[in-house]
Chain A
Amino acid sequence: MLSRTITIQNKLGLHARAATKMAQLALQFKAKVQVQQGEKTASADSVMALLMLASNQGKEVTITADGEDEEQALNAICELVSNRFDESE
């Protein structure tokens, strides 16, 4: 299992469209990807679970990936977050 802690950078945080992008990306990997924020953990392939985190700009989240393509999955999800979910701010 691999994990990395990153900061939510986009202005709108993990809102519906961002959460949907993350879930769509997570679904492409075999590895089980989770997002942890404080005491809450969400499965990255569930928009519902991601929205319950209410992660806003500046929040630190820990991404974990477990499975055969865990490295690719972790990198892809972290890249999406650092690229502000392709949002302009």
Chain B
Amino acid sequence: MNVKLLLQPDCTKVLADCQSKKKILEHIAEIASTKLPDLTCTDILASLMNREKLGSTGIGNGVAIPHGKITPKGEPVAVLLVSHPGINYDAIDNRPVDVFFALLVPEDQCDVHLQTLASIAEIFDNKDMLKRIRSAETDNDLYNVIEAA
């Protein structure tokens, strides 16, 4: 699924005071839970944390794609966070991570999930785009950067 369709306006956030991986994931879970009434914030956080335990989702260049599973029927939910400054996220290139594109995806939709990951990677592979994402000053600016992509 295309990133623009996936990301809803109130699912972007620019953070200034985040110190740890856990805090980032808590912010993500909190935002995602407003879109997933069947799941609690705690469930979502557990799903995201369990995935990180299998290996960091920090894919390099200051970008991470935390993700977790939701029930098969649900619609996927995306959350985009930018944290200033970046935090230690055990990324593949050991660089601090400041851009987080989180995904809560239904189970058993492997091919759809791969297409979604590909469209996320395309956005973050674009240096100009990444620069605009990092310089967004408000939650709304951040949303508009993706919308305009």
Contacts and interface: CB of A to CB of B under 8 A. Distances in A.
B110 A20 contact: no
Interface in B15-73: 54-57, 59-61, 63, 65, 67
B92 A23 contact: yes
B114 A13 contact: yes
B65 A13 contact: no
B117 A51 contact: yes
Contacts of A13: 110-111, 114
Main secondary structure on chain A at its contact with chain B? helix
A24 interface: yes
Interface residues of B, number: 23
A56 B61 contact: no
B118 A16 contact: no
A28 to B, nearest CB: 12
Greatest chain A CB density within 10 A among B56, B67, B114 is at B114
Interface string A9-32: 001111111011101100100000
B55 A20 contact: yes
Interface in A33-56: 46-49, 51-56
Nearest to A57: B110
Task: Assign chain A's interface to a size class.
Answer: 20 to 34
B124 interface: yes
A52 B121 contact: yes
A54 B114 contact: yes
Contact of A15 (B63, B92, B114): B114
Given A47-B60, A53-B118, A15 B113 contact: yes
A47 B65 CA distance: 11
Nearest to A54: B118
Given A11-B110, A14-B114, A48 B55 contact: no
Given A20-B56, A47-B60, A48-B124, 15 more contacts: A12-B110, A16-B65, A19-B59, A23-B60, A23-B92, A47-B92, A47-B121, A48-B121, A49-B121, A51-B59, A51-B117, A51-B121, A53-B118, A54-B117, A55-B114
